[in-house]
Amino acid sequence: MKKKLLIVPSILFLSILLVFFYLLLIDRNPSEIPSALLGKNVPKFETDSLLKDEKFISYEKFKNEIILVNFFATWCKPCRDEHVYIKRFSDKKKVKIIGINYKDNPKKAINWLKKLGNPYTDIALDKNGKIAIDWGVYGIPETFLVSSNGIIKYRHVGPITKKIYNEINLLINKTN
């Protein structure tokens, strides 16, 4: 009986080890945090538009269409890296892309888009980063997928890679 009891701690220890190894080996990024906004309505905001001479009013923009929201800035190198994929999304008819220009110089942003191409149908200006806080953004680039009834379905922190591009593509096909 006593000897049998002695096996219990070693089994416990082994199972803890297994859990640790599993977490080490699976493909995950521990610094990535699930968004608190998933399944919730898009935050309401009103600001200036970068490209158009009018106000950007969120509840007018987020309806009837699937929208990809992309927080970007010209000073952010990974934003430049993911730009190719954002452009690829703009070729799709099912989705509209809205950019949110985070703490940036509007003139630089316009030049940046002229040089690299503009995949955005509209761009909201977030001069002091307040809109980003409402979206729970903590490190640009960040990308959100919003369904046609204005509900946040997906969020990705960091640049869009080929793998993430494919993931979002699949989601767009599933989303209404």
Partner 1 sequence: MLQNLNLTKIFAIMLTISFSFFFSNCSYSVEPDEILQDKKQESRAREISKNIRCMVCQNQSIDDSNAPLAKDLRVLIRNKIKEGNKDEEIYNFLTERYGDFILLKPPFKLITIALWCLPFIFFIIGIFILFFHNKKSKKTFKDI
Q: Does residue 139 bind partner 1 (CB under 8 A)?
A: yes
Q: Rule CB under 8 A: say whether 33 interacts with partner 1.
A: yes
Question: Strand order in 142-146's β-sheet?
Answer: 122-126, 95-102, 66-72, 142-146, 152-157
In the complex, the smallest distance separating the C-beta of residue 4 from partner 1, rounded to whole angstroms, is 16
Buried b (16+ CB within 10 A) or exposed e, 9-44: eeeeeeeeeeeeeeeeeeeeeeeeeebebeeeebee
Would you count residue 128 as binding partner 1 (CB under 8 A)? Answer: yes
Q: What would the DSSP string read from start to end of 154-176?
A: EEEES---HHHHHHHHHHHHH--
The residue within the footprint of partner 1, chosen from 77, 138, 149, 173 (CB under 8 A), is 138
Give me the residue label for tokens 């952010």. 76
Nearest Cα to Cα of residue 169 among 109, 88, 113, 100: 88
**Given the complex with partner 1, which of 88 and 130 has the nearer CB atom?**
130
Shorter beta-carbon distance to partner 1: residue 68 or 157: 157
Interface residue with partner 1, options 17, 36, 55, 115 (CB under 8 A) = 36
Among 10, 29, 31, 64, binds partner 1 (CB under 8 A): 31
Nearest distance from C-beta of residue 33 to partner 1, angstroms: 5
Residues that bind partner 1 (CB under 8 A): 31, 33-37, 103, 128-129, 133-136, 138-139
